[in-house]
Amino acid sequence: MRRLLLLFGLQVLASASQHRQVFEIPSGIQNKTSIAQFTSTSTPLDAPKVHPINASAFDWWYFDVVSSDPSSLASVIVTFFTSSQAAFPAGAFASSATVTIEGDNSSGAWHGTGFKWTRIDAPSVGVKGSIVMRSTAPAHLPCGAVVEGETLQVGPHIGWANGVPDAASIVNLEINGTAFTFEGSGYHDKNWSDQPFTTHVASWYWGHGRLGPFSLVWYDILDVNGIEHVSAYLAKDNHIVTASCASQSISVRLNNASLYPPTMSTPNPTGYRISLDLGDGTRMEVDVNVLGDLSEPNPAYAGFVGNMSARTVGPPGATGGGDGTRAENTVTPPRWELVLTRHDSAVLEALDGVALFDQFKLIDK
C-alpha cells in the first residue's frame, strides 16, 4: 500500500485555444477572491476550476488503482493538488505546474517534483514507473451524465467531476528499487473549492469499486447544517445504469448504522452498507468490508481498501431479489433493462469485487 501526495501553492493562468488548452500554474498563494466554477460548461472536466488559489481554496486531481485481487491488498493513490501549504502541510513541492487538455485527454506535470500524470519519475521520493488507465465507464457529474449547465457541487462549495469512474489499469512502479506491479480498477476525479473543506463538511463517505461487470461510485456527505448530500453512480458495459444526486438514490452507512452521524470519536469501521436505487422499487444492497487501512491514524480521516458483495432487493410483491420477475411485469425504463434482464440477474446474485474508499468525520465529539 502506498500513498503519494504532492502539494504547492499557486496562481492559475489560463491560455486556451480551440483544440488544445494549456494551463500554466505558477507557485504562490494569492491574497484575492477565488472564483470557483460550480456549473458545468463546455470547459473540459480536467481543466483547473479555481482561479486564483487563495489561502482558503484547493483544486485536486486525484488518481487511484486498487488491485482486482482482494487478497493482494495492493493499491496506489496519486494526488496532484494546488492549495495553500497551510491547508495540507505534506508532500513533494512543485515550482509550478502545467495541465494540458486535448479533447478527452488530459495530462499534467508538477514541475520540479518529477510527477506527471502520464509518467512518474521522482527520485526525491524514490518512485518511478507508470500507471496506465484505460477508461471503461462514462464520465459523470454529481447529478448525472456530463452535460452543460449542470451543478458541479457534490456538497456545499465542493466541486466534483468524475472523469474516470472506472478504468482497466496497469500499475508498473519501482518504489525505492522494489518493483510494485499489479492490475486493477483505476479511478480519476477532481475536486475543488473556494473555501476550506472543513467549513462545510461534518462527515463524508466516498468510494469506488468494481462489482463483477458493474462500476460503482458513491458519495454520502453530511454538511454542518445536518443536510445530507449524495451522489450515486453505477455503470455497466461502458453505459451509465444510474447516475443521480436525488436524496433517495443512495445511502451509505457504517455496517453498524447506529453510529450515524459519525464523530471524531466514532471508531474506524469494519465495513459499510450501501443501498442504491435502481428504479421501480428495486435497490442494490452492497456490503463493503474493510481489508486494509491506507492512512496514518487520524480521528478525522481514514482511507481503506476492501472487498464488496452485492445483491438486488426487488419491490414489495416481487418474488425474491434479483430474479428478473420484476423486469417482466412492469413498464421497464431503459436504465432498468441494463440491470435486471434475466441474464444480468443471475450475475447480480453472485456479485463481488474490490473497492477503495475513504471517510471524513469532523464533528469534534
SS3 assignment, position 326: helix
| Footprint on residues 153-192 left by ligand NAG (CB under 6 A) | 175-176, 189, 191
Position 198, amino acid: T
Q: What is the closest distance, in whole angstroms, from the C-beta atom of residue 239 to ligand NAG in the complex? A: 21
d(CA 182, CA 195): 37
Rounded to the nearest angstrom, the gap between the alpha carbon of residue 230 and the centroid of all alpha carbons in its chain is 13
State which of residues 107, 289, 295, 330 lies at the interface with ligand NAG (CB under 6 A).
289
- Shortest reach from residue 273's CB to ligand NAG, in Å: 10
123 binds ligand NAG (CB under 6 A): no
DSSP-derived 3-state class of residue 175: strand
Contact segment (CB under 6 A) with ligand NAG among 193-201, 220-228, 330-338, 343-351 equals 193-201
The residues that bridge with 10 in the sheet, in sequence order, are 27
Q: Return the SS3 of 65.
A: strand
Nearer to ligand NAG, 236 or 253 (CB): 253
In this complex, which beta carbon is closest to ligand NAG, that of residue 76 or of residue 338? 76
Using CB under 6 A, which of 6, 7, 65, 125 touches ligand NAG?
125
Which residue, among 83, 87, 82, has the nearest Cα to 98 in the 3D structure? 82
Task: Please give the residues from 255 up to 284 whose contact with ligand NAG meets the rule CB under 6 A.
Answer: 256, 258-259
As a whole number of angstroms, the distance between CA 103 and CA 177 comes to: 36
What is the per-residue binding string for ligand NAG in 296-325, x denoting contact by CB under 6 A? -----------xxx----------------
Query: For 34, phi and psi rounded to 5 degrees?
Result: -85, 135
Dihedral of CA atoms 120, 45, 166, 196 in degrees, nearest 10, equals 80
Q: Which of 240, 251, 50 is nearest to 162 (CA)?
A: 240
What is the spatial distance between Cα 46 and Cα 237, in angstroms, rounded to a whole number? 23
Among the listed ranges 50-58, 272-280, 325-333, 341-349, the one in contact with ligand NAG (CB under 6 A) is 50-58
Shortest Å distance, C-beta 99 to ligand NAG = 15
Q: Which of residues 55-94 bind ligand NAG (CB under 6 A)?
A: 55-58, 60, 62
Question: Nearest residue to ligand NAG, using CB?
Answer: 103
Considering the complex, state which of residue 96 and residue 289 has its C-beta at the smaller distance from ligand NAG. 289
Q: Write the interaction track for ligand NAG spanning residues 207-246; mark x where CB under 6 A is met and - where it is not.
A: ----------------------------------------
Cell of 60: 485536486
Helix locations, the chain, DSSP H: 325-328, 334-339, 342-349
- Looking at 29-37, 110-118, 142-150, 292-300, which segment touches ligand NAG (CB under 6 A)? 29-37
- DSSP annotation of 365 reads -
Contact pick of 287, 293, 323, 349 for ligand NAG (by CB under 6 A) = 287
Whether the Cβ atoms of residue 136 and residue 184 lie closer than 8 Å to each other: no
Under 8 Å between Cβ of 46 and 106 = yes
Question: CA angle at residue 46 from 172 to 74, to 5 degrees?
Answer: 25
Which residue carries 481503506 as its cell?
A: 304
Q: Tell me which of 8, 182, 205, 206 binds ligand NAG, using CB under 6 A.
A: 206
The least CB distance from residue 102 to ligand NAG, in Å, is: 4
Q: Give residues in contact with ligand NAG (CB under 6 A).
A: 2, 31, 33-34, 54-58, 60, 62, 102-103, 105, 125-127, 175-176, 189, 191, 194-195, 197, 206, 256, 258-259, 287, 289, 307-309, 352, 358
